[in-house]
Structure 1
Amino acid sequence: MNARSWWLIIAVGFGILLNPLNSSMVSVALPRLQDEFRLDFTVVSWIIFSFYIASAIAQPVMGKASDVFGRRRIFLAGLAVAFLASIFAPLSTNFGWLVVFRIVQSVGTSMMVAVGMAIVRVHMTKKQGTALSVLSIFLSGAAAIGPFVGGVLLHLWDWQGIFWINLPFVAASFALAWKTIPKDDTPASALSGRSLRQWMQQMDAAGILLFASGLIALLVGLLRLTSTGQASFFNVATGFAGLLLLAAFVRREFTVASPFIPLRTFAQYPAMTRVNIEFMLVNVLYYSIFFGLPSYLQLVRHVSEYHTGLLMLSLGLCSLLASPLAGRWIDRSGPRPALLLSSVLMTAGSLWIVLLDQASPVISVCIALAAFGIGNGLNNVGMQAALFASSPKEMIGVASGLFSTSRYMGTILSSLLISLVMGGTFSFGGFRILGAILAIIAVSLVALSWRGRSAAQLQKSS
């Protein structure tokens, strides 16, 4: 690759790393935000919910929008949006405004993730595999070091630092992208030849609205019920309205020509459906630890943000180290043995959490982190391989989109699980209950992995 190609990769890499970096840094900042704005744990969890709900919606929408407006325009616009959010979020006078700017930040960073890989794939005709693997390092590396970076920023400054850190990455990415990403060849007629109604139908705007409003209403009802402990009319009515909206969303997605989430695909390909269910459960397990353990360390064990970040670094490093080894193993034996070992490791990690007590050395937490980190590294590669094996070639684009949706649903469910278990106050007893629930989920994942392994062996023998 020539120098211009490398600068293009770096430009895109600096942009796409902002989404995983910002989603992971906040895990260490939850106790600080809870104290700063005088909130209970259930309310402060919306800093997580808002980001993942917005990402789940924005990434597929912006992927479609790039076909109309052009990938370069979407990428540069995403950088501008992320820049504004990173400036205004630290100036928030209350938690509500912080959540608003967090949503804006999620939309901006999702715009870059949605088109970054495509930009490299389209404009680099040589050594695409190398280029895409480098971008994967930007994505996975940012997620891995996010808690450590967040801990350092909280130690040196305050929670505002987790937004200010974005500014140099945004500036560098914008300067390089402006020079290295070729201009879009989308003609102006492509924009003017389509009416607003046609564009909204292609985006499935009604489906997006039903999905977002239903999910938010359901979360509000459940979390208020947990926080207040009262089954008030508002809590029940809001939760029930959310269920109705989600039911309407499901019905719509089976009937429209261009659905936001093509649910018909799940019914047509049961093997692919099983992979997505497994992937969602994996993310429930992993992100329950990812977001729950920093709060346990800080609020229960009174570990500083800096040392919490250091401990959480072991989770990301184990995941990064396990991924290339998993790739070699999967090339020889297929994805199912690796997925089975991953689910066993996550079961062991969950049980280890249950066995911890308040006198256990803090370093012993690293055992659970290592189990989940290695398990996640095996899953990152194994689930992708299982998805490709279970999806028809002509459906691989749709399958990849559904796969990303399953990831986001898993992260949202993990935050919901933590909030429901903990209620308003993060406690040691609640953390052990969380570990027990995760162990049950992990055992069910073992059963699914074993069933998938048996099915794969039967298909191979026939």
Structure 2
Amino acid sequence: MSVRSRWLLISVGLGVLLNPLNSSMISVAIARLQYVFSLDFTSVSWVIFSFYLASAIAQPIMGKASDLFGRKKIFLTGLVVAFVGSLLAPLSPSFGWLIVFRIVQSIGTSMMVAVGMAIVRIHITERQATALSVLSIFLSGAAAIGPFIGGVLLHWSDWPAIFFINIPFAVSSFLLAWKMIPEDERPASAAPRMSFRKWWVWIDVTGILLFTAGFIALLVGLLSVKSTGHASVVYVMLGLAGLAILAVFVRHSLKAATPFIPLRTFAKFPSMTWINVEFILVNILYYSLFFGLPSYLQTVRHVSEFHTGILMLSLGLCSLVASPIAGRWIDKSGPRPALLAAGILMTFGAVWMVTWNETSPVIGVCLTLAAFGIGNGLNNVGMQAALFRSSPKEMIGVASGVFMTSRYLGTILSSLLLGIVMGGTFNAEGFRLYGIILVVIALTLVFMSSRRREAGTLENP
């Protein structure tokens, strides 16, 4: 790989890591944000919801927009947007403004993730597989060490530091990307040729608005019912309205020429449907622990942010170590054994969670984190391999986009589950109930994996 290619890879890597880094650092800061803004856990969960919902919407949009405006322009614009969001978030006068700037930050980082892989594939032609694997390390490594970095920053400073830390990354990436990323071949004049109406249809703005409105209404309805402790008619109606809007979204997506989420793909390829359902469950399971455990440790076990970050580091590191091992195993034996092992490990970890109390030894926490971390590494590679085996070659691009949407949906649902079960405050009893729910989800994954054919589909009952 040439020197220029290495610097190009570094410039892109420094940009794309901002998305997983910011989605993971916040897990250690939830308890602190509750205290600072005098909120319950349900309310502060919106700092998680907003980031992932914005990412789920922004990434496919920006992928399409790069075809019109150019990948370099989208990447550089994303860095500027992320810089602005990271600079303004610590200055938020209220939690509402923090959510606004968190969304801005999510949109900016999503712009870079949406085009970063494509930039590497197009402009690094030698040892391309190595380059893509290095970029994946930027992504997965940032997610793995995010809670540790967040814990260190909170130990030495306060919650604004988890936003300010983005600024040197954004500036460095911008300066390098400005110089190292070649200009796009597509002329800039191509974008204005598309009329506003065609652009609206092509991006599927109607579908995006329906999906966003429906999902937010449903989340507010469900979370508010739990946090108030009674089924208010207003919140019930809001949740039902959200379901109705999502139903309209489904109908629209089935008819749209270029839908935001290509639901027709699911009907045409049922094996892909099952894989995405499993992937949603996998992410509910993993991110339930990822976001729930730090608050449990700090609120119930009174562990410091610094030590919480150190404990959470084992989760990400085990996932990183397991991924290359999973790759070799799956190449030899197919995805089924790895996915079955992942389900068993996560079941073991969830069962152990149920036995915890305020005086349980720390080694139990570490073993649970190791089980979930290894299981996540096996699942990430195994699910991707199963997707490729079940998807026609001409559908790989669409399948990968839907796959990422499933990841975000699982993450959002994990936070929703946390908010519903825990309500306003974290306590040992609520966390034990939460563990029982995770056991059920893990056993469901074991059952689905045990019935998987080698092609990636499930056997008929």
Which stretch of structure 1 is more off in the superposition, 259-268 or 178-187? Answer: 178-187
For residue 352 of structure 1, report the CA deviation from its aligned partner: 0.4
1:414 paired residue number = 414
| Residue in 2 that maps onto 1:22 | 22
**Hey, what's the Cα distance between the residues in 1 that align with 2:6 and 2:129?**
13
Q: Taking every aligned residue pair, what percent have the same amino acid on both sides?
A: 69
Is the Cα–Cα contact under 8 Å of residues 86 and 164 in structure 1 kept in the other structure?
yes
Q: In 2, Cα distance between the equivalents of 1:237 and 1:2?
A: 60
28-37 or 194-203, which deviates more: 194-203
The CA RMSD over aligned residues, in Å, is 1.2
Question: 1:236 deviation in Å?
Answer: 1.1
Cα separation, 2, equivalents of 1:276 and 1:457:
11
Name the residue aligned to 2:328: 328
Within a 5 Å distance, the mapping from 1:191-206 to structure 2 comes to 191-206=191-206
Q: Tell me what 1:297 maps to.
A: 297
Alpha-carbon shift at residue 456 of structure 1 (Å): 5.8
Shift of 1:380: 1.2
Letter in 2 for 1:55: S
Structure 1 contact 34–44 (Cα < 8 Å) conserved: yes
Contact map agreement 2:334 2:454 (CA 8 A) in 1? no
> What letter is aligned with 1:220?
V
Match of 1:233 in 2: 233
Give the 3-state SS of the residue equivalent to 1:144 in structure 2.
Answer: helix
Contact 2:451 2:458 in 1 (8 A): no
- Taking structure 1 as reference, are residues 287 and 318 closer, same or farther at Cα in structure 2, changes over 3 Å only? same
Q: 1:103 to 1:456 in 2, by over 3 A?
A: closer
Is 1:337–1:453's contact at 8 Å kept on the other side of the alignment? no
Distance 1:155 1:287 in 2: 23
Structure 2 counterparts to residues 13-92 of structure 1, below 5 A: 13-92=13-92
Partner of 1:106: 106
Does the 8 Å CA contact 1:285/1:442 hold for their aligned counterparts? Answer: yes
Instruction: Name the SS of the counterpart of 1:140 in structure 2.
Output: helix
Tell me by how many angstroms 1:372 deviates. 0.2
Instruction: Rate the CA distance shift 1:455–1:107 in 2: closer, same or farther, 3 A.
Output: closer
Q: Which amino acid aligns with 1:200?
A: W
Structure 1 residue 317, shift from structure 2 partner: 0.6
Tell me the TM-score normalized by structure 1: 0.98
Aligned to 2:341: 341
5 Å-filtered alignment, 1:45-444, equals 45-444=45-444
Taking the aligned partners of 1:458 and 1:381, their CA distance within structure 2 comes to 18
Does the aligned pair in 2 maintain the 1:152–1:306 contact within 8 Å? Answer: yes
Change (3 A) 1:456 1:281: closer
Deviations 1:395-435 (A, max 9, x none): 00000001001100000000000000000111111111110
Q: Residues 272-322 of structure 1: CA distance to partner in whole angstroms, max 9, x if unpaired? A: 111111111000000000000000000000000000000000000100001
User: Following TM superposition, by how much is the alpha carbon of 1:184 offset from its aligned partner in structure 2, in angstroms?
Assistant: 1.9
CA distance in 1 between counterparts of 2:458 and 2:365 reads 39
**In structure 1, C-alpha distance between the alignment counterparts of 2:458 and 2:288, rounded to whole Å:** 34
Return closer, same or farther for 1:37/1:381 CA change in 2, 3 Å cut-off. same
SS in 2 for 1:452: coil
Say if 1:330 and 1:338, in contact at 8 Å, map to a contact too: yes
**Contact kept in structure 1, 2:274 and 2:457, CA below 8 Å:** no
Q: In the aligned structure 2, how far is the partner of 1:287 from the partner of 1:301?
A: 20
AA of the residue aligned to 1:201: V
Query: Structure 1's 456 and 149: CA in aligned 2 closer, same or farther, altered over 3 A?
Result: closer
Which stretches in structure 1 are left out of the alignment for 5+ residues? none
Q: Post-superposition shift, 1:457?
A: 10
Q: Which moved more, 1:206-215 or 1:353-362?
A: 353-362
The letter of the residue matching 2:134 is V
AA paired with 1:381? V
Q: Is the 8 A contact 2:155 2:305 kept in 1?
A: yes
- Residues 29-49 of structure 1 deviation map (CA, whole Å, 9 limit, x = unaligned): 000000000000100000000
1:1-12 alignment to 2 at 5 Å? Answer: 1-12=1-12
| 2:117 aligned partner, one-letter code | M
Does the CA contact (< 8 Å) of 1:72 and 1:182 recur in 2?
A: yes
SS in 2 for 1:245: helix
Helix, strand or coil at the partner of 2:236? helix
SS of the equivalent of 1:293 reads: helix
- Contact 1:144 1:315 (C-alpha < 8 Å) held by counterparts: yes
Aligned-partner residue type, residue 360 of structure 2: S
Instruction: Give CA deviations for 1:127-148 in whole Å, capped at 9, x if unaligned.
Output: 1101000000000000000000
Inter-partner Cα distance in structure 1 for 2:308 and 2:182: 42
Mapped partners of 2:65, 2:191: distance in 1? 11
Query: Residue 452 of structure 2 aligns to a residue in which SS?
Result: helix
Bigger shift: residues 124-133 or 203-212: 124-133
Cα distance in 1 for residues equivalent to 2:60 and 2:181: 21
Give the length in aligned residue pairs: 459
